[in-house]
């Protein structure tokens, strides 16, 4: 199945990064955490980003992912190692590091998006470790929710979600070539193309999320 392959690929890439980036003494812990998310593409992408973009001087295992805030499809996560806590802002398509918890300030736009009047209020709310909600597979792997973009079964994926099935070839919409063929271009380079693609997709009829599309290799 397509999604299984996607998950396996992602997992292997992260294992490689881990192998070279994390000291031997921490590898087991890092692997354990990684494999607890083996069926969760969203979490894998976050972990992948973490190991790919972590400052090089700090080769540390990721120990825990907490959800500080979630609004619509945007998450503010806390990626914790033994000694550091990194803020990470992400939607289903991309994530960015937003600094370290307790050091510096969050972007005011981010604060107001999550309804915080200021940094002090935010810091006070998230100071206590026991109040932080751990991100778990269970929290995100309920059958009725797309494991990657988080929409309910029966709803359209957020465009760009890797789980979305292509209505033209029934492959993976963000991997097959249909989007280029439909637009007659080699790459999607501007907003106008995306709009055009969206229109073509709607006319063809996009395929809503269905739990049958869920990755399955872990439940075997
Ligand atoms: Zn989706
Ligand atoms: Zn296609």
| CA–CA distances in Å: residue 96 to residues 108, 114, 207 | 15, 16, 29
User: What gap in Å lies between CA 206 and CA 150, rounded to an integer?
Assistant: 17
What confidence tens digit (pLDDT) does each residue in 52-61 have? Answer: 886 555 678 9
Say whether pTM exceeds 0.75.
no
| Distance in Å, CA 69 to ligand 1 centroid | 20
Strands 64-71 and 95-100: unpaired
pLDDT tens sequence across 192-217:
998 999 999 999 999 998 877 765 44
> Ligand 2 centroid to 198 CA: how many Å?
14
Question: 157 C-alpha to center of ligand 1: Å?
Answer: 4
Ligand at minimal distance from the CA of 169 is 2
Q: Ligand 1 centre from 159 Cα, in Å?
A: 8
Q: How do residues 153-178 score in pLDDT, each as one tens digit? A: 888 998 888 889 999 999 989 889 99
Residue spans of the domains in the chain: they are 2-140, 142-220
Interior angle at CA 109, CA 63 and CA 49, nearest 5: 30
């Amino acid at each position: 199945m397509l999604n299984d392959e996607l998950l396996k690929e992602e997992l292997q890439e992260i294992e490689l990064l881990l192998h070279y980036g994390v000291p031997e003494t921490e590898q087991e812990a890092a692997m354990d955490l990684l494999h607890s998310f083996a069926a969760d593409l969203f979490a894998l992408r976050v972990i992948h980003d973490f190991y790919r973009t972590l400052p090089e001087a700090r080769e540390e295992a990721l120990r825990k992912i907490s959800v500080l805030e979630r609004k619509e499809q945007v998450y503010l996560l806390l990626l914790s190692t033994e000694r550091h806590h990194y803020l990470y802002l992400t939607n289903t398509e991309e994530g960015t590091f937003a600094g370290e918890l307790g050091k510096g300030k969050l972007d005011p736009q981010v604060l107001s998006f999550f309804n915080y009047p200021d940094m002090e209020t935010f810091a006070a709310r998230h100071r206590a470790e026991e109040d932080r909600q751990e991100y778990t597979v269970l929290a995100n792997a309920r059958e009725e929710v797309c494991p990657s973009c988080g929409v309910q079964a029966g709803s359209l994926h957020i465009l760009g979600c890797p789980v979305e099935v292509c209505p033209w070839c029934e492959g993976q919409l963000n991997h097959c070539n249909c989007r280029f063929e439909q637009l007659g271009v080699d790459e999607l380079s501007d907003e106008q193309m995306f709009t055009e693609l969206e229109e073509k997709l709607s006319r063809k009829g996009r395929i809503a999320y269905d739990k049958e599309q869920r990755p399955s290799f872990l439940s075997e």
